[in-house]
C-alpha cells in the first residue's frame, strides 16, 4: 500500500466523509419521520458543501481547470445533481422538502408473473394493515410472495427513494474528489478514520457496499400461501486461512483465474464438480463482479419455491447495491431438456415433471448482455456415488433456464435507464 500523503483538499475531503457518516445516520433513522427529515436536511447541505469547499481552494489544486470543468459540464447537468442544488437552496432558504412516505409492494406469483406498485402509506402503518388494504381488492390474488419495502421520496423527485438519490450524489462527489486527488498525485491521504468504522479516508469511484440501498431492515416478506412472514437471516463469514487449508485438503486446490464471469464459468463448474463429488450436495453460491474483480461472494439459500422467488429478487437487490456488472451463480436444480406444456398452454416447470434431471447449473451473465449457462446433469449410484453426464451449454433462454435470472437482468436494465455507472 502506498504511504499516506498530505491531503490536497482536506476540508472538502472531511466534508465528504461527514456525508458518508450522515448517510448512515439517515438510514438508521428511517422509521422515525422527524429524525429522518433532520438527517436528510444535514446531508443535503453537507453534499453541497463538498463542492463549495473544493471551489474555495481552487487556486491551490493541481489540474483544477480540467477535472472541475469536466464535473461542471458532464455531471452537474444531470437531473439528480440539479435536484440536489435546488433542494439545498430550499432547505436553507425556504422550507423542508415535501416528503412522502410510501411502500413499494412487489408481488411475485412465479418467474414471469409479478407486479410492482407504489402506494402512499403513513410511515407507521403496520405491514399487516398494508396487506389488508391491498388484498381488499379482489383483483390481487393471494398466491406467491409479497415484499413490502418502506421508502421516503421527495415530491419533486418521485422516481427515487431518498437513500438511493443521496447515494448517487455521494458517488459523483467521491469521483470528483478522486479526480482531484489523482491530479495531485495522491492516492492515500492522512485523515483519521471515524465512526462508523466504514467511514475511512479512502475515496472510491465505486458505490460503497456499506451504503445498502436495499437493506433487509426496510423490507418485509410474506408468503401468501401460508400467510406467514419470511425472515431473512444473514451470516457473515470471514476468510480464515486455516479453513482455506482444510478446504484444499478436502477438495484439492483450485483457483479461479478468469477476471470475467463468462470465462470463470467453466472453472467454477470444475470446482463445483469436486465439491458435489465429495459432499453429495452443493450449496448455492453467487460471485459478483465489478470491473473485472470479484467484489462479493455469498451463499444464498431458500427452503421452498416462494423462498426461491424471493431469493432471486434479493440477489438483484444485492447486484444493485454493489453495482455489480457481472455474476456467476452455482446452484443445484431440476432441468428438462425440452419444453412441455399443460392443458392451459403453460410451461410445466421441470421440478413437476417425471423425466426431470438433476443438474449442477453454473450461470454467468454480464450487465453488457452476455449470458452463458452450463448444465451438468448428474445421477447418484446405489452406493451414493455422483455420476456426471455430458455438460450442456448455451444462453439461458435456449436452455429454458432463464426464469430465475430475470430479476437481475431487469435490475440491470433499470440501472442502465437511470444511467447509473
Ligand atoms: Zn484527501
Ligand atoms: Zn459506510
Q: What is the pLDDT of residue 3?
A: 62
Q: Nearest ligand to the C-alpha of residue 26? A: 2
Three-state SS at 334: strand
**Contact between 212 and 314 (Cβ < 8 Å):** no
Q: Nearest ligand to the C-alpha of residue 201? A: 1
For residue 348, pLDDT beyond 90: no
Give the tens place of pLDDT for each residue, 322-344: 999 999 999 999 998 888 888 88
pLDDT mean over 132-153: 83
d(CA 323, CA 326): 9
Q: Nearest ligand to the C-alpha of residue 203? A: 1
User: Which residues, other chains included, contact 289 with Cβ-Cβ below 8 Å and sequence gap of 6+?
Assistant: 259, 260, 261, 295, 324, 325, 326, 327, 328, 366
Q: What is the pLDDT of residue 170?
A: 98
Q: Residue 107 — very low, low, confident or very high, per pLDDT cuts 50/70/90?
A: confident
Give the tens place of pLDDT for each residue, 128-138: 888 887 778 77
For residue 242, pLDDT beyond 50: yes
Q: Nearest ligand to the C-alpha of residue 28? A: 2
For residue 127, pLDDT beyond 60: yes
What does the domain layout of the chain look like in residue ranges? Answer: 10-97+159-208, 233-417
Percent of the chain with pLDDT strictly greater than 90: 61
Cα 98 to middle of ligand 2, angstroms: 27
pLDDT mean over 56-61: 94
Q: Nearest CA to 144 among 176, 181, 106, 95?
A: 106
Percent of the chain with pLDDT strictly greater than 70: 99
| Distances from the Cα of 18 to the Cα of 71, 119, 199, angstroms | 21, 33, 8
Q: What is the pLDDT of residue 144?
A: 86
Q: Residue 1 — very low, low, confident or very high, per pLDDT cuts 50/70/90?
A: very low
Q: Which of 116-120, 163-167, 177-181, 310-314 has the lowest mean pLDDT?
A: 116-120
Q: Residue 206 — very low, low, confident or very high, per pLDDT cuts 50/70/90?
A: very high
Cα 186 to middle of ligand 1, angstroms: 8
Cα 302 to middle of ligand 2, angstroms: 28
Cα 7 to middle of ligand 2, angstroms: 21
Which of the two residues, 75 and 118, has the higher pLDDT score?
Answer: 75
Q: Nearest ligand to the C-alpha of residue 191? A: 1
Q: How many CB atoms lie within 10 A of CB 242?
A: 7
3-state secondary structure 338-364: CCCECCCCCECCHHHCCCCEEEEEEEE
Which of the two residues, 8 and 397, has the higher pLDDT score?
Answer: 8
Cα 13 to middle of ligand 1, angstroms: 5
Amino acid at each position: 500500500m502506498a504511504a499516506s500523503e498530505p491531503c490536497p483538499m482536506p476540508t472538502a475531503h472531511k466534508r465528504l466523509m461527514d456525508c458518508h457518516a450522515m448517510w448512515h445516520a439517515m438510514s438508521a433513522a428511517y422509521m422515525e419521520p422527524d429524525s429522518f427529515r433532520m438527517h436528510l436536511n444535514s446531508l443535503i447541505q453537507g453534499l453541497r458543501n463538498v463542492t463549495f469547499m473544493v471551489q474555495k481552494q481552487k487556486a491551490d489544486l493541481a489540474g483544477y481547470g480540467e477535472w472541475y470543468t469536466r464535473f461542471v459540464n458532464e455531471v452537474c447537468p444531470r437531473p439528480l445533481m440539479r435536484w440536489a442544488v435546488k433542494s439545498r437552496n430550499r432547505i436553507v432558504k425556504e422550507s423542508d422538502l415535501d416528503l412522502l412516505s410510501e411502500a413499494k409492494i412487489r408481488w411475485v406469483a412465479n418467474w414471469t408473473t409479478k407486479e410492482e406498485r407504489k402506494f402512499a402509506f403513513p410511515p407507521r402503518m403496520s405491514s399487516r394493515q398494508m396487506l389488508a388494504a391491498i388484498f381488499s381488492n379482489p383483483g390481487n390474488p393471494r398466491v406467491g410472495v409479497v415484499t413490502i419495502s418502506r421508502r421516503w421520496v421527495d415530491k419533486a423527485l418521485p422516481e427515487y427513494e431518498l437513500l438511493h438519490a443521496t447515494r448517487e450524489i455521494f458517488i459523483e462527489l467521491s469521483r470528483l474528489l478522486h479526480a482531484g486527488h489523482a491530479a495531485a498525485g495522491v492516492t492515500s491521504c492522512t485523515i483519521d478514520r471515524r465512526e462508523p468504522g466504514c467511514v475511512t479516508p479512502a475515496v472510491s469511484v465505486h458505490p460503497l457496499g456499506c451504503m445498502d440501498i436495499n437493506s433487509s431492515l426496510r423490507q418485509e416478506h410474506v408468503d401468501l400461501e401460508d400467510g406467514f412472514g419470511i425472515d431473512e437471516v444473514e451470516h457473515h463469514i470471514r476468510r480464515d486461512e486455516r479453513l482455506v487449508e482444510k478446504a484444499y485438503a478436502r477438495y484439492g486446490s483450485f483457483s479461479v483465474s478468469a477476471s470475467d464471469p463468462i470465462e470463470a464459468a467453466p472453472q467454477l463448474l470444475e470446482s463445483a464438480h469436486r465439491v458435489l463429488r465429495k459432499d453429495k450436495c452443493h450449496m448455492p453460491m453467487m460471485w459478483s463482479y465489478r470491473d473485472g474483480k470479484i467484489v462479493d461472494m455469498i451463499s444464498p439459500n431458500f427452503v421452498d419455491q416462494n423462498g426461491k422467488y424471493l431469493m432471486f429478487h434479493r440477489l438483484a437487490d444485492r447486484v444493485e447495491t454493489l453495482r455489480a456488472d457481472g455474476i456467476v451463480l452455482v446452484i443445484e436444480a431440476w432441468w428438462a431438456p425440452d419444453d412441455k406444456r399443460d392443458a392451459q398452454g403453460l410451461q410445466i416447470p421441470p421440478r413437476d415433471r417425471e423425466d426431470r434431471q438433476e443438474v449442477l447449473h453454473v450461470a454467468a451473465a454480464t450487465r453488457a448482455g452476455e449470458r452463458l449457462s452450463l448444465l451438468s446433469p448428474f445421477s447418484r449410484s446405489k452406493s451414493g456415488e455422483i455420476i456426471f453426464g455430458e455438460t450442456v451449454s448455451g444462453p439461458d433462454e435456449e436452455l429454458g433456464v432463464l426464469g430465475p435470472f430475470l430479476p437481475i437482468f431487469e435490475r440491470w436494465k433499470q440501472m442502465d435507464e437511470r444511467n447509473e455507472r
